[in-house]
Amino acid sequence: MKTLAVVALAAAVTTLSAPASAQFAKPEDAIKYRQSALFVMGQHFGRLGAMANGRIPFDAKAAQENADIVAEMAKLPWAGFGAGTDKGAPTKALPEIWTQQAKFKEHSDKLEADTVKLAAAAKTGNLDNLKTAFGATANSCKACHDNYRAK
Gap between the Cα atoms of 113 and 96, Å rounded: 22
> Cα–Cα distance between 128 and 63 in angstroms, integer?
12
Which span sits near ligand ASC by CB under 6 A: 26-34, 45-53, 90-98, 106-114?
Answer: 45-53
- Residue (24 or 107) nearer to ligand ASC, CB: 107
CB of 24 or CB of 66, closer to ligand ASC: 66
Q: Which residues ranging from 110 to 149 are in contact with ligand ASC (CB under 6 A)? A: 138, 141-142
Q: Which amino acid is at 53?
A: N
Helix axes 127-148, 27-52, angle to 10 degrees: 140
- Known binding residue 145? Answer is yes
**Does position 49 bind ligand ASC by CB under 6 A?**
yes
Q: Tell me if 55 contacts ligand ASC by CB under 6 A.
A: no
Indicate which single residue of 17, 42, 84, 87 sits in contact with ligand ASC (rule: CB under 6 A).
Answer: 42
Tell the smallest beta-carbon distance from residue 76 to ligand ASC (Å): 15
Least distance CB 3 / ligand ASC (angstroms): 44
111 is in an annotated binding site: no
Look up residue 145 and give its amino acid.
Answer: H
Annotated binding site: 141, 144-145
Residues within the interface to ligand ASC (CB under 6 A): 42, 45-46, 49, 138, 141-142
